Structure 1
Amino acid sequence: MADVPFFRHRRQRRFRRIDLQTNGLDDDELRRRYRFSAQSLDRLVDLLDHILRRQTRRNRSLSTRQQILITLRFLATGNFLQVIGDTFGVDIATVSRVITAVVDAIFGLKDRFIKFPTSDEDRRRATNDFFRVRGFPSVIGCIDGTHIRLLSPGQPDEAAYVNRKHYHSINVQATCDRDGNFTSMNACWPGSCHDAHVFRMSNVGRHLDANHQDPGRGWLLGDSGYPCRPFLMTPILHPRNEAEERYNQAHISTRNIIERCFGVWKRTFHILHVEIRMKPAKVTRIVLACAVLHNMRWMWGEPNPDVQDDLDEQPDVQNFDGPMDGRGVRNRLIEQYFV
């Protein structure tokens, strides 16, 4: 039997469609697709170019701008990687590598763009800003938790990631300033962890415990899922007089800033609304990267989407039933400002 010659056919060359995704688009269209205007995209490229520039001589290597566009499209839509690859005309493996590289680069900027007020000047500015909201004194930030869905990580950690609403998640704790910018974020705890435990173990919780026992240095506002501490004011569950009612009203009106902040954040980056089909460690980096981008958008003057007050769905608050050693501070605060 004669041998049949084998011919290796060269794969047909395919041209990427990445640049076509921005050509001819005005700023409004760019924001709808990538959440940033043309000028802000240029700033982002300048920030990340030294990290993402490919050290290769290949003619068709992805530029820094192209990598950023792919990643922003993924974060803004929450689409599957295959859909993102089809949109830009690149292979799914390339999409995965690009998203990992860009998210890691943005994650590395977290200490530059997410800052907690630690200096006297920063605290004074924060307390003045919050006081203008509803007359609540000495507030340096609002704190709350929200849950980000993720795919089951499998055994042996599967049960730890099931929250009180019976889906797998990461419990994300964040604080924000008067303008709705994140000033701290902890996104490494499984969904079954109580908000009070996350706060106690977080860097911001330890900082406040060590440096803010004096109420004059300011406090956070949190819901009843947190303990009442000298540096963390919580609402009164059963107010007994008008002064306590006024305290609760001012507390709720001011603390709602963190709820709206979560709403804008999740509305802007839809990946935070869907089930992220990645391992928890990678989800943590995506969450922090979205927080950095959220603060960048405010700093660079990008408009925020319209958000309903009930946009952020999260498990019902489980009231804290441990020691409430901040009650004395809270009672003195009510006597001084709300009687």
Structure 2
Amino acid sequence: MESMSEDEVAAEDQDMDGEILLQQTHENLKMYVLATLGLIVCIQYYVKYIYKQNIRTSICSGWQFVIEVLNTPGESYRTFRMESHVFIRLAELLVTKYGLHPTREMRAEEALAIFLWICAHNQSNRTLQTRFKHSGETISRKFNEVLTSLVTFSRDIIRPADYNFKEVPRKIRDDYKFWPHFRGCIGAMDGTHVRAVVTPKEDEIPYICIRGYATQNVMAICDFDMLFTFVEAGWEGSAHDSRILTETLAKLKGKNIFPYPPEGKYYLVDAGYSNSKGYLAPFKGKNARYHLADYKRSSQPPTGYFEIFNFAHASLRNVIERSFGVWKNRWRILFNIPSYKFSTQCKIVGLTMALHNFIRKNAVKDEEFDKCDADPNYMPNVEDEDDSNVHGDEDDSDEHGDAADDENMSIVRNSIATSLMNMRRS
């Protein structure tokens, strides 16, 4: 092999140097691009999470506003829909047990105040920015942190005090109109509607539209202290009560979630349900009035075997309607939930019921609950409510019964009706 001339060697060395230089330039350029992108990400993170210049300034910061509200008599109830001591106790509980923690930018109490103000008055993110002096991102993030904390909290507070229901409720035990006739009754169950928003991305969620609003159907159980013991939300608004109950029982079968009535116990349900095992329905038919409003509109008192039972049944079952009224009047967000994800909207229904229970258990004075305690016939006037016969509870297909009636529950119902008639005669 002939040896390369000096010119050829020099040319080859020059080509190699050019390739090395080009490779080094490419590596340097790649490093500069990555460094630039990293710097941009760091700047964005700093601006978004660390350095937040308030667009609006005020002598009273968000935390100072919370302190002022809590220390002003009556202001906490008007603003957060609960007394100051109830607010403080709730905040402490969420911090110590349910994972709501303060951060450098906000105390846990202020985050809770933001959440409660949104639910109580259905305030927009922009309004919250103005009042609490935080960015829209912070308001949204804190709202979701409190929501996550309350989801766990709700599992512990929306439940029966005793799944065996060993004690007879005082409402029944201490009232001659119900004792001993309804001694197996442990609460009432019914459904209601809550307005919702379903975005095109979630068009697989079933819903109907009422006056331009989507509607989610809510089913709940409460005891006679007006405490919710079970809630399930999310069906299409046209669903019949019996269908919802059937689907719920099937969905939760074997999960030990639904508080099934023990043997010999039952919940009161309206005429939209069949008289099935564990669920005592009224007598149906055109000649048997049921709703209390029907009796109030008429000068004729309840008469006969069926109406005497139905009147006592409705008087006891109206605790669920009163509970719905107090719950909806407290949380205005339920009348026009913002366009959150549909799953979040369903969570808000359950979380506000959990807050309803917490207030009921801890409040010394509460305007709505006090009215209900003072007058057993008081029915909260819910604005914008239109639940008239939305659950199909006026089914007259069967004169005094239903093809799906359970034989044992029919015996229970007839026994109670006979007992009430005997008391009326004595």
> The TM-score by the shorter chain falls in which range?
0.7 to 0.9
Q: Contact 1:150–1:283 at 8 Å: present in 2 too?
A: yes
Q: Structure 1 residues 231 and 165, CA, compared in 2 at 3 Å: closer, same or farther?
A: farther
TM-score of the superposed pair, with normalisation by structure 2: 0.68
Say which SS state the counterpart of residue 413 (structure 2) adopts: helix
Q: Structure 1 residues 165 and 175, CA, compared in 2 at 3 Å: closer, same or farther?
A: farther
Say which SS state the counterpart of residue 187 (structure 2) adopts: strand
State the partner residue of 2:207.
Answer: 161
Q: Distance in 1 between matches of 2:353 and 2:259?
A: 26
Matched, 1:277 2:345: no
State the partner residue of 2:355.
Answer: 293
CA deviation string 1:263-291 (max 9, x = no partner): 10011111112243212100111111111
Q: Distance in 1 between matches of 2:317 and 2:332?
A: 24
Q: Distance in 2 between matches of 1:285 and 1:258?
A: 20
Q: Structure 1 residues 209 and 114, CA, compared in 2 at 3 Å: closer, same or farther?
A: closer
State the partner residue of 2:227.
Answer: 181
Match of 2:143 among 74, 99, 113: 99
Q: Which amino acid aligns with 2:267?
A: L
Match of 1:124 among 149, 167, 191: 167
Matches within 5 A, 1:1-339: 13=54, 17-24=61-68, 25-50=71-96, 51-54=99-102, 58=104, 61-116=105-160, 118-120=162-164, 122-126=165-169, 128-132=170-174, 134-135=177-178, 136-137=181-182, 138-154=184-200, 157=203, 160-162=206-208, 167-202=213-248, 212=261, 214=263, 216=264, 218-238=265-285, 242-301=304-363, 302-305=365-368, 308-311=379-382, 312-316=385-389, 317-319=391-393, 323-325=404-406, 326-339=409-422
State the partner residue of 2:21.
Answer: none
Cα-Cα RMSD: 3.0
CA deviation string 1:298-331 (max 9, x = no partner): 1112414357545253252314676222434322
Q: Distance in 2 between matches of 1:46 and 1:11?
A: 28
Offset, 1:166: 7.0
Q: Which amino acid aligns with 2:417?
A: I
Offset, 1:38: 2.1
Offset, 1:110: 1.7
Q: Structure 1 residues 157 and 228, CA, compared in 2 at 3 Å: closer, same or farther?
A: farther
Q: Distance in 2 between matches of 1:337 and 1:308?
A: 25
Offset, 1:167: 3.6
TM-score of the superposed pair, with normalisation by structure 1: 0.83
Offset, 1:124: 2.3
Offset, 1:185: 0.8
Offset, 1:196: 1.5
Q: Which amino acid aligns with 1:109?
A: F
Q: Which amino acid aligns with 1:124?
A: E
Say which SS state the counterpart of residue 206 (structure 2) adopts: helix
Say which SS state the counterpart of residue 220 (structure 2) adopts: strand
Q: Distance in 1 between matches of 2:241 and 2:331?
A: 23
**Rg comparison, structure with higher value:** 2
**Between Structure 1 and Structure 2, how many residues are aligned?**
322
CA deviation string 1:108-138 (max 9, x = no partner): 1123211125544x34233x43354541512
Q: Distance in 1 between matches of 2:344 and 2:260?
A: 32
Q: Distance in 2 between matches of 1:45 and 1:159?
A: 34
- Unaligned 5+ residue runs, structure 1? 1-9
Say which SS state the counterpart of residue 272 (structure 2) adopts: coil
Offset, 1:227: 1.3
Q: Which amino acid aligns with 1:172?
A: V
State the partner residue of 2:37.
Answer: none
Q: Distance in 1 between matches of 2:193 and 2:160?
A: 22
Percent of matched pairs sharing the same residue:
24
State the partner residue of 1:5.
Answer: none
Offset, 1:220: 0.7
Q: Structure 1 residues 230 and 73, CA, compared in 2 at 3 Å: closer, same or farther?
A: same
CA deviation string 1:222-246 (max 9, x = no partner): 1111111131111212356612211
